[in-house]
A and B are shown apart, each in its own frame.
Chain A
């Protein structure tokens, strides 16, 4: 039975693809059929994924890997297939669960949109691509689905194509991701190149072989650990992919703009699943990273810089979705940092908890946006608690979870990361703690500005339909409880780390209330709690009690405030370079080379020479045989003389 479940796991990914194709080609006329097909496919996927998770949990040693050759050229082979292991099983459940709830929510959110069916087909297509990425057995297959999720994201950000902002955002998202993909491609190529003979009798670039390959590379001294062409450069090039996809500094610029897409997309793709794919890929390529301490350090620092940098921007944004987007960047930064610190399970644990509560927060923001008649500016909101009790309660749960309120899901996962930082690198511990403080502050700022006080806008807000509130409630439950999987409060201790780990030691086998209190009352337990309290209280003082901190920042520390408000001018810098330097130089290059040198000088020049010579020859070609003979004789004579002199 469980073997059957594992063997047929590919159905989880295949059904959304089939439903997407059916909607595109046959059922795009009918809203009911489109929604049913799409939701049905992913609902089946969730059930099957839970069964898979159960089967894998019963027997974590049983790893199923099926590979089919996709292309063969001489000795060169590439494969696609599916891999079922603990990490995959966990991701399957996260992706299908979030996707299911988002798709139900979509029915409420998009019901008046003329592109309703199309939206469902894109959602199904995205779900398929994301599941394909999760199932990937090797780096090449990951690259395939990596790009496919990117294109789905492109389609969905640009769903409202008539909005100029959406049109720019989708192009920006795809191109920035392409920059990362190019790095990823070169990284994969280096890996393939240095181990080319190894793959002759193994599945090319398989994740399951990476450990052995790295051992061969390091032990055999095939590739130095540090250097121009080394394991470190390879790891960092591969990292470019995750940096773009998971919106890490300095390739984070696309994610906030991606909020131009419909809100369900922001929840599914740009909060819970696709942006987490970067973290997932780092985890899959972990053998490469652990081989190089430099690479691990850089990963950790990129994560930390992203975390604090994005959090500092989120402090001053007024757009509710952008605040959440920067918060997503920041949390992804924490996950990346955790992986860089060697806290493999902590990073992935945060990925899982974050997926649930951040998806829910985005769906809450969507609910608020609908209620306020497509108003996204938080200055035009306020006092919505009275009008929207369910949404405000769910949002409060999400805010508490992400800020690290004790016993909620975010508390456990974030604490794990901060504890790991304390253990490995004190500077990063400080950065992570400041980030946690900022997180608590801006999340409560969001909550207070939106839900408490008096309503400042001009619409007539009201609670949304059950299609919208049900998914909120459904996601609120894991947001509260899923953290216990990694807590010492359940019998047997930290179940998550025991299930998904990369050979790191974990001391979480002890359990009980005493253990919990002991951990909480250590420095690494108290600091996050303290930052949570300070951040929350400060936000309360400022946004409910009207403490003039805002004005103090605006008036006295203008550069800081402006920097944060304008996203530290990163976009301006990039666009400046692009529009002022790169594009004009391209224009110039093309004009000079193609128009002036080739066409102007050579092509038209040779035409000119031909006509000139032709014109000149008119006077020479007189038609008199004697003259021709004379010319011939003269040339021969000159030739003979020259050769005589040369060969003397």
Chain B
């Protein structure tokens, strides 16, 4: 058999297994940073290439069914090693594949200490994240989900800042609780539906026929697990702590892709399996989304620590993912997914920028800065671009997701239905409230910009060097994509839109049939 078609038949298992191979090889290398980084970079670029091949060769975005399906017996026929992608998962895999080489380039100053271990752990994270996005067996999904925990814990606990023990333990406990909730949900769903398989496609259909109490319990367990990861109020406090202590590249990965596992789970499982319960709890989720968007922005305004500002801004932006989800419209779904992708790029860029400043000055306190433009002009202009992207300036990718969510949520028929009997449309009131978040976002991003880069310079930093080439490459790539997807959003929506539309339609159908019975 020729190699090309062999690859295409095993494309997904290749990208899941490649990082493990890389991790093993790195473990046998001499403990020298450039060597390990080079190897990791080669593997990561290979993965990126593979993902491109997956998307641009045989992948047909107009099909809403799974593609590149691989299914192997594992524990009998009950638990199978089943992989497959649709538009939604492939765009998340793409995000991971883009972020990985960038993270590795950004790791140079961090990984000087124990490079072998560091890059191996990074590669294990990759496997687990890609695995979560491509797994089509619920048990496998759970396993990949839990696998992420261990390398991530080490990455924060070993290469983190002063308070890393507390932060990594907090991260571990939160994520572990989330995993336990999911495990309970998986078992409940499996035994409750009397299924003979953990296949997600089968379970997605079976779950809709479950008795209401089962569905409700499963949904709540899954939902709690995902919003801990997302993170959402009131389970968000692990995020600022983890970000503050995590080294820059790990922060980039954490904000860039690990949070999206939660968002992906919400769309794939909460909306895909239990749309009726999603609608039933609509009001609560709507309120949660509003609290996230506005509350996250309020929290940003009162922080002194640059990393905390970016971390809370993640909470605020992930609120749009929830809002898009609960609006149950095509535009809302599409906007939520776009928001995940674009936030992955923007928050990675922002953490990189904050990291470069921290690396030079060893302080994250905003008040220690001022007039940095004098010494780091390039950093200033790139920071402006990233800040503008974060506050959803049109023509940058943040705007696309947010406006889709706003339009979707405001015109959502579901919200109108939700408010029957009321004199006002509760969903619209919440959406209007969320528009305050847009003002606050502008406030905290620009105040940060002003306090760090503008005004009279702090002469303490006179000797600082501007961005290095490697940093420019990282930021240039990320922000180049931000501009690309902001100006021409169809480049991304083309890939996932039919899938998200189908997801929305199946949710609508499920709700209709549920109403009739």
CB of B456 within 8 A of CB of A174, answer no
Using Cβ atoms and an 8 Å threshold, which residues of chain B touch A170? 446, 450
Q: State how many angstroms separate the Cβ of A567 from the closest Cβ of chain B.
A: 22
Supposing A174-B442, A182-B438 touch, asked if A193 and B454 sit within 8 A by C-beta, the answer is no
Distance between Cα atoms of A414 and B18 in the complex (Å): 74
Q: State how many angstroms separate the Cβ of B70 from the closest Cβ of chain A.
A: 30
Supposing A72-B493, A73-B501 touch, asked if A192 and B411 sit within 8 A by C-beta, the answer is yes
Using Cβ atoms and an 8 Å threshold, which residues of chain A touch B299? 590, 594
Instruction: Using CB atoms, name the residue of chain A closest to B432.
Output: A186
CB of A175 within 8 A of CB of B301, answer no
Is A143 located at the chain interface by the 8 A CB criterion? Answer: yes
Is B407 located at the chain interface by the 8 A CB criterion? Answer: yes
Instruction: Using CB atoms, name the residue of chain B closest to A599.
Output: B237
CB of B439 within 8 A of CB of A182, answer yes
Q: State how many angstroms separate the Cβ of B483 from the closest Cβ of chain A.
A: 11
CB of A174 within 8 A of CB of B373, answer no
CB of B450 within 8 A of CB of A171, answer yes
Is A151 located at the chain interface by the 8 A CB criterion? Answer: yes
Instruction: Using CB atoms, name the residue of chain B closest to A75.
Output: B330
Within 8 A of B (CB), among A596-643: 598-599, 602-603
With beta carbons under 8 angstroms apart, the residue of B237, B428, B435, B455 that contacts A162 is: B455
Instruction: Using CB atoms, name the residue of chain A closest to B332.
Output: A73
Within 8 A of A (CB), among B276-297: 295
Interface residue tally for chain A (C-beta within 8 Å):
54
Instruction: Using CB atoms, name the residue of chain B closest to A180.
Output: B439
Q: State how many angstroms separate the Cβ of B475 from the closest Cβ of chain A.
A: 15
With beta carbons under 8 angstroms apart, the residue of B334, B388, B399 that contacts A73 is: B334
Is B329 located at the chain interface by the 8 A CB criterion? Answer: yes
Contact indicator per residue, chain B 366-390, by CB within 8 Å of chain A (1) or not (0): 0000010110000010001000100
Contact indicator per residue, chain B 294-327, by CB within 8 Å of chain A (1) or not (0): 0100110110000000000000000000000000
Supposing A192-B411, A583-B301, A586-B301 touch, asked if A185 and B435 sit within 8 A by C-beta, the answer is yes
Instruction: Using CB atoms, name the residue of chain B closest to A160.
Output: B454
Is B105 located at the chain interface by the 8 A CB criterion? Answer: no
Within 8 A of A (CB), among B406-457: 406-408, 410-411, 424-425, 428, 431-432, 435-436, 438-439, 442-443, 446-447, 449-450, 453-457
Distance between Cα atoms of A161 and B331 in the complex (Å): 39
Q: State how many angstroms separate the Cβ of B362 from the closest Cβ of chain A.
A: 24
Using Cβ atoms and an 8 Å threshold, which residues of chain A touch B428? 189, 193
Q: State how many angstroms separate the Cβ of A155 from the closest Cβ of chain B.
A: 7
Distance between Cα atoms of A192 and B403 in the complex (Å): 12
Is B335 located at the chain interface by the 8 A CB criterion? Answer: yes
Q: State how many angstroms separate the Cβ of B418 from the closest Cβ of chain A.
A: 14
Distance between Cα atoms of A594 and B439 in the complex (Å): 22
Is B393 located at the chain interface by the 8 A CB criterion? Answer: yes
CB of A196 within 8 A of CB of B411, answer yes
With beta carbons under 8 angstroms apart, the residue of B237, B408, B435, B493 that contacts A594 is: B237
Using Cβ atoms and an 8 Å threshold, which residues of chain A touch B295? 593
Using Cβ atoms and an 8 Å threshold, which residues of chain A touch B439? 175, 178-179, 182
Distance between Cα atoms of A244 and B371 in the complex (Å): 28
Is A228 located at the chain interface by the 8 A CB criterion? Answer: yes
With beta carbons under 8 angstroms apart, the residue of B394, B443, B490 that contacts A143 is: B394
Interface size class of B (residues with CB under 8 A): 35 or more
Is B268 located at the chain interface by the 8 A CB criterion? Answer: no
Contact indicator per residue, chain A 196-221, by CB within 8 Å of chain B (1) or not (0): 10000000000000000000000000
CB of A171 within 8 A of CB of B447, answer yes
Using Cβ atoms and an 8 Å threshold, which residues of chain B touch A546? none
Is A257 located at the chain interface by the 8 A CB criterion? Answer: no
Instruction: Using CB atoms, name the residue of chain A closest to B404.
Output: A73
CB of A192 within 8 A of CB of B456, answer no
Using Cβ atoms and an 8 Å threshold, which residues of chain B touch A193? 410-411, 428
Instruction: Using CB atoms, name the residue of chain A closest to B241.
Output: A599
Q: State how many angstroms separate the Cβ of B382 from the closest Cβ of chain A.
A: 12
Is A70 located at the chain interface by the 8 A CB criterion? Answer: yes
Is B192 located at the chain interface by the 8 A CB criterion? Answer: no
Distance between Cα atoms of A148 and B410 in the complex (Å): 24
CB of A162 within 8 A of CB of B334, answer no
CB of A182 within 8 A of CB of B435, answer yes
Within 8 A of B (CB), among A147-202: 147-148, 151, 154-155, 158, 161-164, 166-168, 170-171, 174-175, 178-179, 181-182, 185-186, 189-190, 192-193, 196
Instruction: Using CB atoms, name the residue of chain B closest to A195.
Output: B411
CB of B302 within 8 A of CB of A74, answer no
CB of B438 within 8 A of CB of A185, answer yes
Instruction: Report which residue of B298, B384, B391, B404 has the largest number of chain A beta carbons within 10 angstroms of its beta carbon.
Output: B298
Distance between Cα atoms of A145 and B447 in the complex (Å): 23
CB of B395 within 8 A of CB of A148, answer yes
With beta carbons under 8 angstroms apart, the residue of B170, B371, B438, B443 that contacts A603 is: B170
Distance between Cα atoms of A161 and B403 in the complex (Å): 31
Supposing A73-B335, A196-B411 touch, asked if A162 and B373 sit within 8 A by C-beta, the answer is yes
With beta carbons under 8 angstroms apart, the residue of B395, B404, B424 that contacts A228 is: B424
Is A560 located at the chain interface by the 8 A CB criterion? Answer: no
Using Cβ atoms and an 8 Å threshold, which residues of chain A touch B500? 73
Is A71 located at the chain interface by the 8 A CB criterion? Answer: yes
Is B257 located at the chain interface by the 8 A CB criterion? Answer: no
CB of A192 within 8 A of CB of B410, answer yes
Supposing A151-B388, A185-B406 touch, asked if A162 and B490 sit within 8 A by C-beta, the answer is no
Using Cβ atoms and an 8 Å threshold, which residues of chain A touch B380? 161
Using Cβ atoms and an 8 Å threshold, which residues of chain B touch A549? none
Within 8 A of B (CB), among A116-167: 140, 143-145, 147-148, 151, 154-155, 158, 161-164, 166-167
With beta carbons under 8 angstroms apart, the residue of B302, B391, B394, B435 that contacts A590 is: B302
Is B76 located at the chain interface by the 8 A CB criterion? Answer: no
Supposing A164-B455, A178-B438 touch, asked if A603 and B489 sit within 8 A by C-beta, the answer is no
Supposing A162-B371, A162-B457 touch, asked if A76 and B407 sit within 8 A by C-beta, the answer is yes
Distance between Cα atoms of A522 and B162 in the complex (Å): 81
Within 8 A of B (CB), among A70-88: 70-76, 78
Instruction: Using CB atoms, name the residue of chain A closest to B504.
Output: A74
Contact indicator per residue, chain A 496-521, by CB within 8 Å of chain B (1) or not (0): 00000000000000000000000000
Using Cβ atoms and an 8 Å threshold, which residues of chain B touch A593? 295
Supposing A148-B395, A164-B455, A594-B237 touch, asked if A76 and B406 sit within 8 A by C-beta, the answer is no
Using Cβ atoms and an 8 Å threshold, which residues of chain A touch B450? 167-168, 170-171
CB of A74 within 8 A of CB of B407, answer no
With beta carbons under 8 angstroms apart, the residue of B394, B400, B431, B453 that contacts A189 is: B431
Distance between Cα atoms of A597 and B16 in the complex (Å): 41
Distance between Cα atoms of A602 and B238 in the complex (Å): 12
With beta carbons under 8 angstroms apart, the residue of B298, B384, B435, B501 that contacts A155 is: B384
Is B497 located at the chain interface by the 8 A CB criterion? Answer: yes
Q: State how many angstroms separate the Cβ of B277 from the closest Cβ of chain A.
A: 22
Using Cβ atoms and an 8 Å threshold, which residues of chain B touch A168? 450
With beta carbons under 8 angstroms apart, the residue of B298, B400, B403, B410 that contacts A589 is: B298
Using Cβ atoms and an 8 Å threshold, which residues of chain B touch A192? 407, 410-411
Distance between Cα atoms of A154 and B447 in the complex (Å): 13
Instruction: Using CB atoms, name the residue of chain B closest to A118.
Output: B381
Is B234 located at the chain interface by the 8 A CB criterion? Answer: yes
With beta carbons under 8 angstroms apart, the residue of A73, A148, A590, A603 that contacts B331 is: A73
Using Cβ atoms and an 8 Å threshold, which residues of chain A touch B431? 186, 189
Instruction: Report which residue of A73, A161, A185 has the largest number of chain B beta carbons within 10 angstroms of its beta carbon.
Output: A73
Instruction: Using CB atoms, name the residue of chain A closest to B492.
Output: A71
Instruction: Using CB atoms, name the residue of chain A closest to B453.
Output: A161
Known: A174-B446, A178-B438, A594-B237. 13 other contacts (CB 8 A): A69-B490, A76-B330, A76-B404, A162-B456, A163-B455, A168-B450, A175-B439, A185-B406, A185-B435, A583-B301, A587-B302, A590-B298, A598-B237
Task: Please name the 7 residue pairs, one residue from A and one from B, whose CB atoms are nearest each other, closest first.
Answer: A74-B330, A167-B454, A73-B334, A144-B394, A189-B410, A76-B331, A178-B442
Residues of A within 8 A of B (CB): 69-76, 78, 140, 143-145, 147-148, 151, 154-155, 158, 161-164, 166-168, 170-171, 174-175, 178-179, 181-182, 185-186, 189-190, 192-193, 196, 228-229, 583, 586-587, 589-590, 593-594, 598-599, 602-603
